[in-house]
Amino acid sequence: MSNGQHKQELKHALSECKQTSTMSVADYFGKLEKLWDDLAAFNPVLACVCGMSKQFQQKLDEEIFLDFLYGINREHYGHLRSQLLAQDPTPSLDWAFKATNKEEQLQKCDHQATPMTL
């Protein structure tokens, strides 16, 4: 397989990558991270003195942030996704992951709580 074909397959896999209802946020993030790393091998960010590499990296970070948010389970995290997308400036991927992971933990606690009986 040529590099071009492999790169396109990775892009397609990235666009199709979605969190299933049984997949944890950490597992989904790990799956995305593997795809991002594989794709990054085709597009190394070169250092320069003109500042273009910093702009390129910022654009890449925003694309990765959006990949993460567009693939999270909307049924469970739709409200959080909307809040994160509405923020200006765009939060970091790390912050979005931590917020989503925290929300997942809160939802688990809510589901595990048993109603008191009198």
Contact predicate 17/67, CB 8 Å? yes
Which has the minimum average pLDDT: 10-19, 47-56, 86-95?
47-56
Q: Residue 37: how many CB atoms within 10 A of its CB?
A: 10
Tokens representing 6? 């492999």
Q: What is the pTM of this model?
A: 0.82
What pLDDT was estimated at residue 113?
56
**pLDDT tens, position by position, 60-93:** 899 999 999 999 999 999 999 999 999 999 899 9
Which residues, including other chains, have CB under 8 Å from residue 19's CB and lie 6 or more apart? 25, 28, 71, 72, 73
Which residues, including other chains, have CB under 8 Å from residue 64's CB and lie 6 or more apart? 32, 36, 93
User: Concatenated DSSP letters for 39-97?
Assistant: HHTTSPPPP-SSSHHHHHHHHHHHHHHHHHHHHS-HHHHHHHHHHHHH-SSPPPHHHHH
- The DSSP element (H or E) to which 18 belongs, if any, is none
Q: How confident is the model at residue 106 (pLDDT cuts 50, 70, 90)?
A: very high
